[in-house]
Homo-oligomer: A and B are copies of this chain.
Amino acid sequence: MTTQTENSIFPKGDKLENGYFTGDAFLKPLLAKDKSNEFAMGSVTFEPGARTNWHTHPKGQVLIITEGEGLYQEKGKPAQPIKKGDVVNIPENTEHWHGATTDTKMVHIAITNFKGEENVIWLAPVTDEQFTSANKN
Contacts and interface: CB of A to CB of B under 8 A. Distances in A.
A88 to B, nearest CB: 10
Contact of A84 (B9, B59, B87): B9
B87 A59 contact: no
Contacts of A31: 62, 87, 89
A64 interface: yes
Interface string A31-47: 10010111101000000
When all copies of this chain in the complex are counted, the total is 2
Scoring A31, A36, A38, A85 by chain B CB atoms within 10 A of each residue's CB, the highest score goes to A36
A113 B5 contact: no
Interface in A16-54: 30-31, 34, 36-39, 41
A137 interface: no
What are the nearest 3 A-B pairs in CB distance?
A36-B60, A3-B3, A7-B7
Interface of A: 3, 5, 7, 9-11, 30-31, 34, 36-39, 41, 59-60, 62, 64, 66, 84-85, 87, 89, 91-92, 109, 111, 113
